[in-house]
Amino acid sequence: MIREMAIPTIGTDFAGIRWISDRPDEEELSFRSPDGKTQFLRCEKPIPYKDEFLFAAGIDGLSPATQYEVSARDAEAGGMNRTFRTLPAPPGKRLFRFGILADSHCAFRDKPGSPRLFWHSLALTEKYLGRLADLGAEFAVLPGDLTDNGTPDEVEAVRKIVAASPIPCQVLIGNHEFQPELFLKAFGLGKGWQSSDHHGFHFVRLRTFTPDELHADSEQFRWLTADLAANRDSPTFLFSHFSLHRHETLVYDPDCAVDNVEEIQAAIRGWPQVHAAFAGHKNMPTLSVVDGVAHVLSPQVVHYECGFDTIDVYEDGFIRIIYEIDELDLIRRSEKAHESPQDIAYRYGLEEGRNFYFSFRRQSRENG
């Protein structure tokens, strides 16, 4: 019978569904549209994992902002079903898509018992940069912790992967880059903070090797103030490894954010062109809106729920969609390394913080 079901990926017209059964066959799911039409989802080659079988299927051709129902066809499943709602079709034109591949923690050795998939980290990083290219991302942002230990060998290995990526990569430093100068030099990051423009949007990449590097009296903060003043007319996205917001749902992870959140958020209130701040470090998919700014956390491929995300930028907002890796057995292995269901739910994140549309018009600031 079907034991578990999740709908990790939801777009405006498609969804990705995975489920787990104790049998390899006849495990169809029925998929029902609001007009009563039913079709069956079948996964031809479920992946065996210990005493269970892991299934995944995608469905497309859906309508935006519509509720669908997925239920187990097997009567033994006791009527297990889930409903989900596709994302709304945003107003205005879609301008471009970029990807985020967060915290890949590339390393050469596994750590016994760790839920992080170190042994697969390099291969997953390479593969899913390629997947982002296949999905039409024009570039990828890698918001820190590209390496697990920051050794010269790890830095060189991931530098080669980034150099060979089919799409350009925008790299940030994270707290696991334990030899920060080596890392910054390898990726040509100067002092660790940079900005660039893409289709009229301004992208600012900050240095948060430690959570105290964005204080108002720092050189970086002075640079940031000048950079944003010079780009006042460009809609802007900020990127950092540590979040610029202490997300209320991450109560167990107080080290999620920079140590001067209030100071940074007071400054952001004076920069109405800033629409979103993206971060890694704690990779529970999350959205919090503060003063009309979306604070977004991205998942990571090497640790449950083993995902990455795309951002579709529209004239009036953006859509964030989370994709999981194909390797369902690796997702399950990482998941099983967590002891409690609470840990697993916590890492998966809340549905509303995973796949969503964020409108720039939600800004409440006077001149926003």
Contact positions vs Fe ion (CB under 5 A): 145, 174-175, 281
Instruction: Report the alpha-carbon distance of residue 47 to residue 222 in Å, rounded.
Output: 52
CB of 336 to Fe ion, least distance (A): 23
For residues 258 and 266, the answer to whether their CB atoms sit within 8 Å is no
CB of 100 to Fe ion, least distance (A): 14
Backbone φ/ψ region at 192: left (φ over 0), alpha (ψ -120 to 50), beta: left
Partner residues linked to 341 by β-bridges: none
Instruction: Please say which residue, 104 or 310, places its beta carbon nearer to Fe ion.
Output: 104
Give the helix/strand (H/E) hosting 310: strand 307-314
CB of 259 to Fe ion, least distance (A): 14
CB of 144 to Fe ion, least distance (A): 6
Instruction: Please say which residue, 5 or 256, places its beta carbon nearer to Fe ion.
Output: 256
Instruction: Please say which residue, 15 or 206, places its beta carbon nearer to Fe ion.
Output: 206
Peptide bond into 327 cis (omega under 30): no
For residues 280 and 143, the answer to whether their CB atoms sit within 8 Å is yes
Instruction: Report the alpha-carbon distance of residue 368 to residue 366 in Å, rounded.
Output: 6
- Phi and psi torsions of 196, nearest 5°: -160, 170
Start-to-end CA distance of the chain, whole Å, equals: 52
CB of 103 to Fe ion, least distance (A): 6
At residue 133, the 3 state secondary structure works out as helix
CB of 249 to Fe ion, least distance (A): 18
Instruction: Please say which residue, 145 or 305, places its beta carbon nearer to Fe ion.
Output: 145
> Beta-strand (E) ranges in 138-200?
140-143, 169-172, 194-198
Instruction: Please say which residue, 99 or 174, places its beta carbon nearer to Fe ion.
Output: 174
Give the helix/strand (H/E) hosting 3: strand 2-10
CB of 184 to Fe ion, least distance (A): 16
At residue 328, the 3 state secondary structure works out as helix
Q: Which residue is nearest to Fe ion (CB)?
A: 281
Instruction: Report the alpha-carbon distance of residue 271 to residue 208 in Å, rounded.
Output: 20
Instruction: Please say which residue, 97 or 247, places its beta carbon nearer to Fe ion.
Output: 247
Distance of alpha carbon 48 from the chain centroid? 27
Instruction: Please say which residue, 97 or 205, places its beta carbon nearer to Fe ion.
Output: 205
Q: Are strands 293-297 and 274-279 parallel, antiparallel or unpaired?
A: parallel
Instruction: Please say which residue, 170 or 355, places its beta carbon nearer to Fe ion.
Output: 170
Instruction: Please say which residue, 175 or 234, places its beta carbon nearer to Fe ion.
Output: 175
Taking residue 235's Cβ as centre, other Cβ atoms within 10 Å add up to: 19
CB of 149 to Fe ion, least distance (A): 12
- Torsion (CA) 301, 130, 146, 152 in degrees, nearest 10: 130
CB of 241 to Fe ion, least distance (A): 6
